[in-house]
Structure 1
Amino acid sequence: MTIQTALPVLADLGGVLMGEHAALLENEVGGKVFINGQLAYVWGAGQDGLRRLAASQLVDTGAAQVNEVAAGFGVNTESLRRWRKSLEGAGLLGLAPVKKGPKRPSLLTDEKAAQIRAVRVGGVSLRATAEATGVSTDTVRRAMAMTTATEAATGPSARDGVAPLEAAEQLALPVLPAPVPRDGERAAARAGLLDCAAPVFAPAAHIRHAGLFLALPALETTGLLSCAKEVYGSLPDGFYGLETILIDAVLRALAGETRAEGATRFNPVELGRVLGMDRAPEVKTIRRRISQLAEAGKAEELIAALAKHHLNMSGPDAEDLTAILYVDGHVRAYQGTKKIGKIYSTRLKFPVPATEETWVTDAHGSPVFVVMAEPGASLATELRNLLPELRTAVGDDRRVLVGFDRGGWSPALFQHMAEKGFDVLTWRKGASKNIDDDQFAEVSHTGENAQTRSWSVADTLVDLPLAATKTTGEVFTIRQVSRIVPATGGGTRQIHILTTDRDMSAGEVVYRMGSRWRQENQFRYARMHFDLDSHDSYASTGDDEDRLVPEPAKKKAYQKVVAARNAHAEAAAVADANLLALKTPADGAGEVTLTSAMHNQVMAPVGEAENALVAAEKVHKSIPAKVRLGDLSPGQQVLNTETKLIHHGIRMAAYNTAMSIAREIRTNTGYKRATQEAHALMRQAFNQAGDIDPTKPGYLTISLDPLPTKAKTAAIAQLCEHLNSTQTRYPGTGLILRYKIKSNA
């Protein structure tokens, strides 16, 4: 019967479905069980034994699962297990209800419960505890359950420093209920009658991704939502609004899926519970909504607004955020089929089709600003163009220390930056004279982590010739801080740091220059965890074919000039040696007369080398330094930048959110390994399951499951206490977020 074709069961008759095959019809006169639409079991009123027989055999014959039958018959799985065991041992008589005798006094008095707990707490097994106290193992379980209920009702547990939930809160939440229906709002959105759907939360227990709620207080400090509202206002009418799309993108990034395609790796209903929706937006919706933002053409305004918000935050070390900035270029390689210009990648060590971006980070290495670099532009050129935007983001006339690598080397740029209120911090490029050893002295500096470092440095001033005025001898005087470091292959060498800041201590100059590696760490971390180098959009437009670009033939011709010069110098050296040998005869030889023929023969290779040099220089001079792009590489494309910048804004917010949570773990928890494991613990917490409870007016309580170890659980509990103090509201609602960790009891 269980493998026959299923016959329909009329739901209107009140049938309770148990799996795909069985249904139960029950009323005051009895009950019936149908398997695949055919009547299989019947019992009358009061025939509880036959009812239990039907339930037991539904499981034994494989017509339905244990949990399905238990739910259909309104009992728990333990009762159903006892019925099946009785049927197996005593047949139908074992299922007959037994009339209960007079109730005897319970053995589990308060004194007995205390005795059981005293024995059990020592680590004794259930059976040993039962034997020692003269009760059954079930009584031991009830005694321990009474303990848990009492602790939950009276206050926090002393174990692990974790506050358990109230018993009412633990029992009231349904497990994985259906999401709040939003059919009406979706219909209104399709008709163009809804601006956007607001988040709505329903009580639910054991929700996946509940740990992502921990990111919301830090996300608010990044300013992504407020800046996006300021720049874009809102998205076109639809079910998913601007805030929902951005929160979804950031939370997916923190969960390890930054790209839109990553939405396919989430259950949309599960992620939707965190967003307050019946389901999270899917790939096509995300792409369409981001495209609508890109059509507005305001991505650069969004990045500028984020930078201004970041650089004007208040809090510890906030002054350093604007006092010190680092700038560097980042090459994003392209692997598609379109004709994209090549750029040399220092990471890959060869030229690749790519686009280049200029990133600005703060003193902690957190991204602040990003612009798409002009094709072929040097870092020095990008720095000069970036200064007005940096000044706007800083918001006042204070001097800002800007650190960068040798790619921005230009004494003329250094002078320009100093005149515009920016101080330079960079490495010296090219050959330079070593500083005398007697000028070195010991200096030290204490960083943000309270660790003091010492170096031996020489603090001097040097003159840099300005490229445009080499003939006049004009120079730019700049401060040079030199260090002695180990050299490759043994020994030592001197490295030189240049800065226009005359007031900063030499120790801090060395420390700040070394901190530029935080920007490299940001690139590496963002590539690993936030898909920094992903394209996000493969759309492209034609490059400006009238743009002048370097002529590659010019470089090749110059290489031939250099080779010709070396050949000429080598020929001249050989000729001089031969002439000297002719003029200086061996001992005992007579005088040698040097004739014109002999001289011409010795100097002939020099003449040939000189002619080759002149010819090479002539060819090099005849080749223009720059040519039209259309003549050199017709049909070259440039990748879309608008969509990429929007995603960069989202990635910046996600990165800064992650760094804030990791910093809170290091500074506001007692986790002993926080220095080494803060980021790993943060990612583990983000992926933790938990409960959502909006039943208390004005609050949205998130109760996370305990982590695998006591130390980690206690650390996240302390993090929750700190986040509760921020009184953060869930975006788009009036609900204040409150975080808890469930008790292990």
Structure 2
Amino acid sequence: MLQRSMPLLPEGAKAVNSNIAIFRSQGEISFFNASCAIFKCSEDDHYGIRLAQGVLCAANAVRPAQLARALGVNRSTVSRNKAIYEHGGAQGLITDIGKRRAYKLEAEKIKTAQSLLGKGLALRKIAETVEVTEGCIRYAIKKGTLVRKSAVTSTENANHKSASQRCFEDCQSPAGIGVKRETERVLAAVGKLTEAAPVFAANESVRYAGVLLALPVLIQVGLLDAAQKVYGRLRNGFYGLQAILLTLAFMALLRIKSPEQLKDKSPGELGIIVGLDRVPEVKTLRRKLKEMGLCGKAAELMAELSQRWCDQNLEAIGFVYIDGHVRPYHGRKHRLPKTHVARRRLCMPATTDVWVNDANSEPLFLITTEANDSLLSIIETEVIPHMKELAGDKRVTIIFDREGWSPKSFARWFENGVDVITYRKGQYEPWAEDGFIETRCPAGGQPVIYRLGERSIMVSKNFWMREVRRLCASGHQTSVMTTRQDLPAAQIAGRMFSRWTQENFFKYMRQEYNLDHLITYDVEAADGDRLAPCPVYKEKIKQIARMKAELEVLQKDYGQRALKNKDAERPTMRGFNIANAGYKKKVRLLQQQIEKAKAE
């Protein structure tokens, strides 16, 4: 019968291979073969363990990898002890002890590295200074050869928690994720708390802490002061007006584009930057927004902020850019009037916001039209009165595109202290190319060369405007009209062509702040007493305009034929009408149709 390799082993012994086993007991370690214990030493006897490694491996009783795994050391250590034993015997293991030293970090380098550590230098910089690798420095710190200066010395700072620890505590909170100020929340629930006061404390590795750099700017522009002046305060609760405004402002800076996106963020980490235990939940934030909306003071808040900005820089509103931004509506719940969406080249349900930006293309205020009113009507009824309030007695120059072209309105505005710069609408005769000269113009903050020409023209009865034209390389002439007679042509062209900075503003706001997003599906009833254009009347006006254009063509043709008539052939008017049969009848018929359409 085949005998087992190791028939007698104490209980608890672990086999290294089929030849050797290890037994640990009472601080001693024993090595067994098939018959009995062959070597025994204390567990802290480093020489004895090294000798056992050399003897057993040299006798081929066990492989270095097997013994290293059983002893919990590196295989290279066992192989090195085996090699020392084979060359120098047991004496070689004794003499080898104590002769090794740090061949990289010498005493002088250790002293220099420790000094630099005390000054708080980075490990990479220290490694470069003492001419060793960064890994060598880290290993020395791990072994205790070098002692890193603690970044936190006080007892208070020693209690700082990492982001993972804070997140774990937020999830374990019994009152809800991130809820720690339970007493104040109980008071808020029974209506005894006006608003939770913000409390800021020292923390480590706060993910969104960078937005706190914008807090002084928000205070400087007057966001909190203006809101408090307009709204006063919200209803009693844990989250007050200041907390809601800061949450919304920080959401914008962090590109959190809707309240629903808060679900993907850590509420506790966001709460740290607003000075609370956590930010409000989505439903809470929406409830607070609805409460502010029902106050109906959004326009008053915007007016207060605009006034503060203008008081800080009155020169910036000397020139203002006006343009409409169309926000398409894709829902089916409500019926909205249709308007043209230029970037999609479609007519679709939408709302139109008229934005007013200052000379630096920074927004001053906006007006949401109730029924996609025309730009001209909004300027007349909303923009100019508001700008007169902001600027006081100072003249204001408004810049817009040809959608607002109206010489009659320009004349009224000019008398009211408002100048205009806009594109000329309609067809116009080109000027001779020798009337243009190269001019350096400031556009977009950089000088550009334009070929410009200028004249003064009468656009309506007794009302003159200044026309500045740019000659393009293709031969096209772009006409800019203005009531400003004191500005050089280069500045007028530069101001007009810089209007595209407002378009860039719209693009940036759409991409970064989701400008076209509907924050709510709530509706607000439009003013029933407002004046709105009648669709039938508008269509009738277009029809009359078409007939007038056709009448003008017929009259010109009739006059040209009369001018070219030869008296020798047709000396009388009767003969001329017979030769041009039908013209006079068509002219009279069109005149009758126009009068009939006007009467309707």
| Structure-1-length-normalised TM-score | 0.56
| Structure 2 contact 231–297 (Cα < 8 Å) conserved | yes
Q: Which amino acid aligns with 2:233?
A: S
Structure 2 residue 387 is matched with structure 1 residue 390? yes
Structure 2 match to 1:239: 238
Distance 1:399 1:562 in 2: 36
Partner SS, residue 173 of structure 1: coil
Partner SS, residue 431 of structure 1: coil
Q: Aligned-pair distance for 1:601?
A: 12
Q: Aligned-pair distance for 1:459?
A: 3.1
Q: Aligned-pair distance for 1:495?
A: 1.6
Q: Which amino acid aligns with 1:141?
A: Y
Q: Aligned-pair distance for 1:543?
A: 4.3
Matches within 5 A, 1:342-361: 342-361=338-357
Structure 1 293/427 Cα, relative in aligned 2: closer, same or farther at 3 Å?
A: same
User: 506, 524, 535: which one pairs with 2:518?
Assistant: 535
Q: Which has the higher contact order (CA 8 A, sep 6+)?
A: 1
Q: Aligned-pair distance for 1:122?
A: 8.4
Q: Aligned-pair distance for 1:322?
A: 2.2
Structure 2 match to 1:325: 320
Structure 1 512/614 Cα, relative in aligned 2: closer, same or farther at 3 Å?
A: closer
| Structure-2-length-normalised TM-score | 0.68
Structure 2 match to 1:30: none
Structure 1 229/347 Cα, relative in aligned 2: closer, same or farther at 3 Å?
A: same
Structure 2 residue 516 is matched with structure 1 residue 509? no
Q: Which amino acid aligns with 2:251?
A: R
Q: Aligned-pair distance for 1:323?
A: 1.8
Q: Aligned-pair distance for 1:192?
A: 0.7
Structure 1 144/421 Cα, relative in aligned 2: closer, same or farther at 3 Å?
A: farther
Partner SS, residue 385 of structure 2: helix
Q: Aligned-pair distance for 1:240?
A: 0.7
User: 493, 496, 509: which one pairs with 1:526?
Assistant: 509
Distance 1:573 1:453 in 2: 44
| Structure 1 contact 454–507 (Cα < 8 Å) conserved | no
Matches within 5 A, 1:488-507: 491-507=474-490
Matches within 5 A, 1:181-192: 181-192=180-191
Structure 1 match to 2:359: 363
Structure 1 118/419 Cα, relative in aligned 2: closer, same or farther at 3 Å?
A: closer
User: 473, 485, 492: which one pairs with 2:472?
Assistant: 485
Partner SS, residue 233 of structure 2: coil
Distance 2:73 2:343 in 1: 80
Distance 1:86 1:321 in 2: 81
Q: Which amino acid aligns with 2:109?
A: K
| Structure 1 contact 418–500 (Cα < 8 Å) conserved | yes
Distance 1:397 1:231 in 2: 26
Distance 1:301 1:148 in 2: 64
Distance 1:381 1:485 in 2: 32
The superposition leaves residues 430-473 of structure 1 with CA deviations (integer Å, 9 ceiling, x where unpaired) of 22343444443333245684x333322223222111xxxxxxx4
Distance 2:314 2:530 in 1: 42
Distance 1:408 1:147 in 2: 79
Structure 1 92/439 Cα, relative in aligned 2: closer, same or farther at 3 Å?
A: closer
Q: Which amino acid aligns with 2:234?
A: L
Q: Aligned-pair distance for 1:532?
A: 1.4
Q: Aligned-pair distance for 1:248?
A: 0.7
Structure 1 114/374 Cα, relative in aligned 2: closer, same or farther at 3 Å?
A: same
Distance 1:462 1:573 in 2: 24
RMSD: 4.7
Structure 2 match to 1:142: 140
Q: How many residues align?
A: 486
Structure 2 match to 1:219: 218
Partner SS, residue 204 of structure 1: coil
Partner SS, residue 207 of structure 1: coil
Q: Point out the structure with max Rg over C-alpha.
A: 2
Structure 2 match to 1:372: 368
Structure 1 461/120 Cα, relative in aligned 2: closer, same or farther at 3 Å?
A: same
**Structure 2 unaligned spans of 5+:** 1-24, 29-64, 75-97, 114-123, 171-178, 560-565, 567-573
Structure 2 residue 110 is matched with structure 1 residue 113? yes
Structure 1 485/237 Cα, relative in aligned 2: closer, same or farther at 3 Å?
A: same
Structure 1 match to 2:418: 422
Distance 2:503 2:424 in 1: 19
| Structure 1 contact 271–280 (Cα < 8 Å) conserved | yes
Q: Which amino acid aligns with 2:217?
A: A
Q: Which amino acid aligns with 2:414?
A: A
Q: Which amino acid aligns with 2:403?
A: G
Bigger Cα displacement from structure 2, 532-541 vs 246-255? 532-541
Q: Which amino acid aligns with 1:526?
A: M
Structure 1 184/392 Cα, relative in aligned 2: closer, same or farther at 3 Å?
A: same
Q: Aligned-pair distance for 1:266?
A: 1.6
Partner SS, residue 204 of structure 2: strand
Structure 1 166/400 Cα, relative in aligned 2: closer, same or farther at 3 Å?
A: farther
| Structure 2 contact 226–305 (Cα < 8 Å) conserved | yes
Q: Which amino acid aligns with 1:121?
A: E
Partner SS, residue 340 of structure 2: strand
Distance 1:492 1:167 in 2: 75
Structure 2 match to 1:250: 249
The superposition leaves residues 50-95 of structure 1 with CA deviations (integer Å, 9 ceiling, x where unpaired) of xxxxxxxxxxxxxxxxxxxxxxxxxxxxxxxxxxx9999337999x
| Structure 1 contact 210–274 (Cα < 8 Å) conserved | yes
Structure 1 448/524 Cα, relative in aligned 2: closer, same or farther at 3 Å?
A: closer
Distance 1:252 1:48 in 2: 62
Q: Aligned-pair distance for 1:267?
A: 2.0
Structure 1 331/447 Cα, relative in aligned 2: closer, same or farther at 3 Å?
A: closer
Structure 1 571/298 Cα, relative in aligned 2: closer, same or farther at 3 Å?
A: closer
Structure 1 366/48 Cα, relative in aligned 2: closer, same or farther at 3 Å?
A: farther
The superposition leaves residues 500-548 of structure 1 with CA deviations (integer Å, 9 ceiling, x where unpaired) of 2222222221111122111111111111111212222322244456655
Distance 2:439 2:209 in 1: 49
Partner SS, residue 347 of structure 1: coil
Matches within 5 A, 1:511-590: 511-543=494-526, 549-554=532-537
Structure 2 match to 1:309: 308
| Structure 1 contact 560–616 (Cα < 8 Å) conserved | no
Distance 1:566 1:398 in 2: 42
Matches within 5 A, 1:726-741: none
Partner SS, residue 540 of structure 1: coil
Distance 1:343 1:610 in 2: 36
Q: Aligned-pair distance for 1:367?
A: 0.8
| Structure 1 contact 357–372 (Cα < 8 Å) conserved | yes
| Structure 1 contact 174–203 (Cα < 8 Å) conserved | no
Q: Aligned-pair distance for 1:227?
A: 1.0
Bigger Cα displacement from structure 2, 261-270 vs 607-616? 607-616
Percent identity over paired residues:
31
Partner SS, residue 340 of structure 1: coil
The superposition leaves residues 203-257 of structure 1 with CA deviations (integer Å, 9 ceiling, x where unpaired) of 3222222222232233223322121111111111110111111111111122222
| Structure 1 contact 196–240 (Cα < 8 Å) conserved | yes
Partner SS, residue 344 of structure 1: strand
| Structure 2 contact 555–587 (Cα < 8 Å) conserved | no
Q: Which amino acid aligns with 1:173?
A: H
Structure 1 118/400 Cα, relative in aligned 2: closer, same or farther at 3 Å?
A: closer
Structure 1 187/460 Cα, relative in aligned 2: closer, same or farther at 3 Å?
A: same
The superposition leaves residues 120-141 of structure 1 with CA deviations (integer Å, 9 ceiling, x where unpaired) of 4289885xx9xxxxxxx76663
Structure 1 match to 2:70: 90
